[in-house]
Amino acid sequence: MPNNGKVKPGYKRTLDLKHGCVEMVHGNGGRSMAQLIQQMFVAAFDNEFLRLMNDQACFPVFGGRMVMSTDSHVVTPLFFPGGDIGSLSIHGTINDIVMSGAKPCYLAASFILEEGFPLADLKRIVDSMAQATKAARVPIVTGDTKVVEKNSGDGVFITTTGIGMVPEGIYISCENARPGDKILVSGTLGDHGIAIMAWRENLSFQTNIESDTAPLHDLVAKMISTTSNIHVLRDPTRGGVASALNEIAQQSSVGMMLYENKLPILEQVQAACEFLGFDPLYIANEGKLIAICAAEDAENLLNAMQAHPLGNNAAIIGEVIEDTHCFVQMQTRFGGKRVVDWLNGEQLPRIC
Amino acid sequence: MPNNGKVKPGYKRTLDLKHGCVEMVHGNGGRSMAQLIQQMFVAAFDNEFLRLMNDQACFPVFGGRMVMSTDSHVVTPLFFPGGDIGSLSIHGTINDIVMSGAKPCYLAASFILEEGFPLADLKRIVDSMAQATKAARVPIVTGDTKVVEKNSGDGVFITTTGIGMVPEGIYISCENARPGDKILVSGTLGDHGIAIMAWRENLSFQTNIESDTAPLHDLVAKMISTTSNIHVLRDPTRGGVASALNEIAQQSSVGMMLYENKLPILEQVQAACEFLGFDPLYIANEGKLIAICAAEDAENLLNAMQAHPLGNNAAIIGEVIEDTHCFVQMQTRFGGKRVVDWLNGEQLPRIC
């Protein structure tokens, strides 16, 4: 949080967390900004690195392979069934790191606040982030705050960036899928996107569907301890499983065959998708992963995933095949075949 | 750039960089987003890490002390005399890393684009970023792209995050200032803020003043090779030298005494400040640093700084004193003394 600094002695004004709003002065680099940072961010995220209040965090690392990932979060609404932009911003970046097989170590968080945004809502979001970082044991060590005028933003945008270290011997990457490999997912598909959509559309079924937002590092640690032979991990967020698999097929120069009757989809999600005209394969997930591994490891890996709370509904949903066109296809419930193409056109804006 | 992936064979549609605009589909996680990422970002930032197109970048690091810093950039206007939001977003994060004495290694870049923003302008910004990363020899290894609806953003916001490694034996931090230390700046003060302000106000003197936006890692490397005894480095951005020194005074529990007649300020900047009613001590800089070192090293350090193109106008502007109130004071040109307080109230919104 550049230009932060501690509040001066004798300067004890406290933020009005009940009725106050974000003001342009909160971004000016002076006393009001220092106050916002101390009383809002440092109070919630406190740790030995952040506490030093430099414009950067400094920490020890061991040599090896490091991963870095960044994600801006612009989800609307900011609060939704099962989560909010705060927890989502922590889980999203942790998951991107974890999909390389790495252990997440440190996070940075940068806020773009709109003038007039209620401090009470910001506090709720920040507390949710703090809780998510604590639960995941990954601290926010540095950050930044900017304020833009009313109507130049939309409440709060949060960009989180994380770094992590890859354990020795692990080489997981989206270009490693090989014909014959099995394709697994860790649970039901489309929960996050449909939870958001139901909320936006104020649909009566909304109460039943919650976002699946969750950090996947413990599940992945368990999977890696089961087999060191996972070829690909990927969290199917924006664009859903269909887009993620098309990208992997492309990156690995392979085709894929899915089995429609193996796809784990909640009944309410399926119903909502039919009602709204969506295909659950294209709907965003925020606490699910795709794993691709050698056929001989698939059952073992599946069992390990199902034994973890975040992998209860894991399933083998298809296999990697040879295909110079890199098509993702699906055997339908009725015995036919169809191509599962890239997402084309707009589906669910601002889902994450 | 999560959910990116290469463009499918046979799918050759190219972005209309002349007349095209950012559309909501560019953020959907599907084919249009992949196209934007490939043709806009990867084309400009290309390197071995980014090219793998995973949701995270993976690279080797050596053990030691690492620094991490993040900054959102919301400057308006996007293009200003001497730079643009693109170069600024690279220099800003590099400089935050360098102020710990670290060598910057890798950058992540995340874009929040407003629907309707011209692709030609985005290309200009991205090219400017590419040029800045090449000049600084610090690659962008991963990124993200989000699109928000018209009027929910303001053209382009860019959040950059960087990591760097601190050389053995270097411990530079804002709590290390000691009474007796000398305070140096690397050049003229207020150029960036006044360049922006002049542009915004459409003032006739605008043509003469340019932003000082520049990456400071070469200057700092030179300074560190001159003396391993630099106590504090800080880039005085938002809030200017006054806010930065107040924060350092606070963090180090010391006071400071500045000499007004030693402050390097361009004549046009001084004139603009008087005209607009600003104090140059509070105006943002984007290519300047404050250095605090032991008195016996100050002349040596000054000479080293002045020998570097980015330190031509370096000066010793004051000293650290004992003061339990942690006040920053200034001996004025006329022999008096005044307190240089924290910036209070709004001065220059969206300066970076």
Where exactly are the structural domains of chain B? 24-166, 182-339
User: Sorting pLDDT into bands at 50, 70 and 90, what band is B342?
Assistant: confident
Residue B208: predicted pLDDT:
80
CA–CA gap between residue B227 and residue B122 (Å, rounded): 42
pLDDT at A12 over 60: no
Contact B64 A65 (CB under 8 A): no
Nearest to B68 among A28, A141, A239 (CB): A141
User: Sorting pLDDT into bands at 50, 70 and 90, what band is A228?
Assistant: confident
- Residue B166 Cα distances to A48, A62, B48, B117, B348, angstroms: 18, 13, 24, 39, 33
Nearest to B148 among A23, A34, A154 (CB): A154
Residues comprising chain A, all counted: 352
User: Sorting pLDDT into bands at 50, 70 and 90, what band is A204?
Assistant: low
Percent above pLDDT 70 for chain A: 95
Residue A206: predicted pLDDT:
55
Contact A243 B64 (CB under 8 A): no
User: Sorting pLDDT into bands at 50, 70 and 90, what band is B2?
Assistant: very low
Check: CB of residue A273 under 8 Å from CB of residue A329: no
Judged by a CB distance cut-off of 8 A, whether residue A124 touches chain B is: no
pLDDT at B10 over 50: no
CB contact set of B204 (below 8 Å; sequence gap of 6+): none
Strand partners, B157: B112
Q: Which of A99, A146, A327 is most worth mutating to test chain B (most B CB atoms within 10 A of its CB)?
A: A146
Positive or negative: CA dihedral B262, A33, A139, A77:
negative
Task: Give the start-end residues of each E strand in chain B.
Answer: 57-61, 64-73, 79-80, 83-84, 103-114, 140-148, 156-166, 182-185, 230-234, 255-259, 290-293, 315-321, 328-331, 337-339
What architecture (CATH level 2) is domain B24-166? 2-Layer Sandwich (3.30)
User: What is the tens place of the pLDDT at every residue in B129-171?
Assistant: 999 999 999 999 999 999 999 999 999 999 999 999 999 999 9
User: Sorting pLDDT into bands at 50, 70 and 90, what band is B207?
Assistant: low
Judged by a CB distance cut-off of 8 A, whether residue A67 touches chain B is: yes
Chain A nearest C-alpha distance from B35 (Å): 11
Check residue B21 and report its DSSP letter.
B
Burial class of residue A73, CB neighbours in 10 A (0-12, 13-18, 19+) = buried
Q: Same CATH topology for A24-166 and A182-339? A: no
Judged by a CB distance cut-off of 8 A, whether residue A35 touches chain B is: no
Distance between first and last Cα of chain A: 23
Contact B52 A166 (CB under 8 A): no
Residue B206: predicted pLDDT:
55
Judged by a CB distance cut-off of 8 A, whether residue B154 touches chain A is: yes
CA–CA gap between residue A189 and residue B209 (Å, rounded): 56
Residue A5: predicted pLDDT:
39
User: What is the tens place of the pLDDT at every residue in A77-109?
Assistant: 999 999 999 999 999 999 999 999 999 999 999
Q: What is the identity of the amino acid at A301?
A: L
pLDDT at B205 over 80: no
User: What is the tens place of the pLDDT at every residue in B252-302?
Assistant: 999 999 999 999 999 999 999 998 889 999 999 999 999 999 999 999 999
Residue A4: predicted pLDDT:
42
Residue B348: predicted pLDDT:
80
Residue B346: predicted pLDDT:
66
- Residue A61 Cα distances to A1, A96, B284, angstroms: 22, 20, 33
Find chain A residues with C-beta within 8 A of B326's C-beta: 8-9
pLDDT at A10 over 80: no
Candidate from A344-348, B190-194, B329-333 with smallest mean pLDDT: A344-348
Check: CB of residue B217 under 8 Å from CB of residue B271: no
Judged by a CB distance cut-off of 8 A, whether residue B72 touches chain A is: yes
Q: Considering only residues 241 to 260 of chain B, which have any Cβ-Cβ distance to chain A shorter than 8 Å?
A: 243-244, 246-247, 250-251
Candidate from A244-253, B26-35, B124-133 with smallest mean pLDDT: B26-35
Residue B247: predicted pLDDT:
94
* Mean pLDDT on B198-209: 76
User: Sorting pLDDT into bands at 50, 70 and 90, what band is A276?
Assistant: confident
Nearest to B142 among A70, A109, A157 (CB): A70
Nearest to B141 among A68, A143, A347 (CB): A68
Domain A182-339 superfamily per CATH = PurM-like C-terminal domain (3.90.650.10)
**What is the value of ipTM here, to two decimals?**
0.94
User: Following DSSP, what letter does each residue of B280-341 receive, concatenated?
Assistant: GGGS--SS--EEEE-HHHHHHHHHHHHTSGGGTT-EEEEEEE--TT--EEEE-TTS-EEE-P
Positive or negative: CA dihedral B5, B9, B13, B15:
positive
Find chain A residues with C-beta within 8 A of B234's C-beta: 55
pLDDT at B9 over 60: no
Average per-residue pLDDT in chain A? 93
CB contact set of B119 (below 8 Å; sequence gap of 6+): B15, B16, B17, B20, B21, B22, B40
By C-alpha distance, the chain A residue nearest B238 is A29
Residue B6: predicted pLDDT:
42
Nearest to B239 among A28, A72, A152 (CB): A28
CA–CA gap between residue B271 and residue B258 (Å, rounded): 21
pLDDT at A209 over 50: yes
Average per-residue pLDDT in chain B? 93
Judged by a CB distance cut-off of 8 A, whether residue B345 touches chain A is: yes
Q: Which secondary structure element, helix H or strand E, spans residue B20, and what is its range? A: none
Residue A108: predicted pLDDT:
98
Percent above pLDDT 70 for chain B: 95
User: What is the tens place of the pLDDT at every residue in A142-197?
Assistant: 999 999 999 999 999 999 999 999 999 999 999 999 999 999 999 999 999 999 99
